[in-house]
Chains A and B, each alone.
Chain A
Amino acid sequence: DTGVSQNPRHKITKRGQNVTFRCDPISEHNRLYWYRQTLGQGPEFLTYFQNEAQLEKSRLLSDRFSAERPKGSFSTLEIQRTEQGDSAMYLCASSLIRGGSYEQYFGPGTRLTVT
């Protein structure tokens, strides 16, 4: 169990550019979640997958945000036409739904700065 990993750890981009972040969950985990955290706040849920199916995406912040998990393993989060307000920490988590437990484990995050 190597934990949840995220890449890159830091990303600086210019306004208007597209960015893509990757998340690799704990290997046997079937659910994967994306969150955004801004300064002084707790993480805010964005979307989640069960295996390759995206089951909830209404909380994505705008249509510029999209996520995929094509083979039920790693996931990507893309932000198109970035804006300065997108600057935040983007966190990924995973969980194994078993025996009624929904405990989530988080990766180290990708810190995005839009200039």
Chain B
Amino acid sequence: GIQVEQSPPDLILQEGANSTLRCNFSDSVNNLQWFHQNPWGQLINLFYIPSGTKQNGRLSATTVATERYSLLYISSSQTTDSGVYFCAVRAYSGAGSYQLTFGKGTKLSVIP
């Protein structure tokens, strides 16, 4: 099946700093989502971005499907940005259907 690799696995930032999280995937995908998992376990949708660039406030994302990667940019980080960021790709599962496959996540800690 498809492999999804996220980097870095852990990231510590000073409040106000910027960061870039990366997601590489091993095969063609027909969509990609970024999520933020808060300390209570809730997955919050950040972007649905099969290709191109989107922005939402201090966050933006870019997916280059032909080169099999996506980037999530966080600017002017705040302590509330702390948590785990997951990339998930929709690809053929090999069992007759297309399913979301998640990476292992990037754990972000923003310190005051």
A binds B: yes
Listed in ascending order, the chain A residues whose CB lies under 8 Å from chain B are 33, 37, 40-45, 48, 55-56, 58-59, 89, 91, 101-106, 108-109, 111
Tell me which residues across on chain A come within 8 A of B96, comparing CB atoms.
Answer: 56
Q: Is the CB of B48 within 8 A of A56?
A: no
Residue of B nearest to A104 (CB): B100
Tell me which residues across on chain A come within 8 A of B103, comparing CB atoms.
Answer: 42
The A contact surface, by secondary structure, is strand
Tell me which residues across on chain B come within 8 A of A45, comparing CB atoms.
Answer: 93, 99-101
The B contact surface, by secondary structure, is strand
Is B88 an interface residue, CB under 8 A from the partner? yes
Tell me which residues across on chain A come within 8 A of B88, comparing CB atoms.
Answer: 42-43
Q: Which of B12-20, B34-42, B68-76 lies at the interface with chain A?
A: B34-42
Q: Is the CB of B102 within 8 A of A101?
A: no
Is B63 an interface residue, CB under 8 A from the partner? no
Tell me which residues across on chain A come within 8 A of B104, comparing CB atoms.
Answer: 40-42
> Given A42-B88, A106-B35: A111 and B45 within 8 A (CB)?
no
Q: Is the CB of B40 within 8 A of A108?
A: yes
Q: How many residues of B contact A (CB 8 A)?
A: 26
Tell me which residues across on chain B come within 8 A of A43, comparing CB atoms.
Answer: 43, 86, 88, 100, 102
Give bound CA distance, A111 to B41, whole Å: 9
For the complex formed, measure the closest distance between the CB of B48 and the CB atoms of chain A, giving whole angstroms.
4
Residue of A nearest to B40 (CB): A108
For the complex formed, measure the closest distance between the CB of B97 and the CB atoms of chain A, giving whole angstroms.
5
Give bound CA distance, A111 to B100, whole Å: 21
The 20 sampled A-B contact pairs (Cβ below 8 Å) are A33-B100, A37-B41, A41-B104, A42-B104, A43-B100, A45-B100, A48-B99, A55-B97, A56-B95, A58-B95, A59-B99, A89-B41, A101-B48, A102-B31, A103-B31, A103-B33, A106-B42, A106-B43, A108-B40, A108-B41
For the complex formed, measure the closest distance between the CB of A60 and the CB atoms of chain B, giving whole angstroms.
11
Q: Is the CB of B97 within 8 A of A56?
A: yes
Tell me which residues across on chain A come within 8 A of B42, comparing CB atoms.
Answer: 106, 108-109
Task: Choose among B41, B43, B88, B101 the residue with the greatest number of A CB atoms under 10 Å from its CB.
Answer: B43
Give bound CA distance, A82 to B93, whole Å: 27
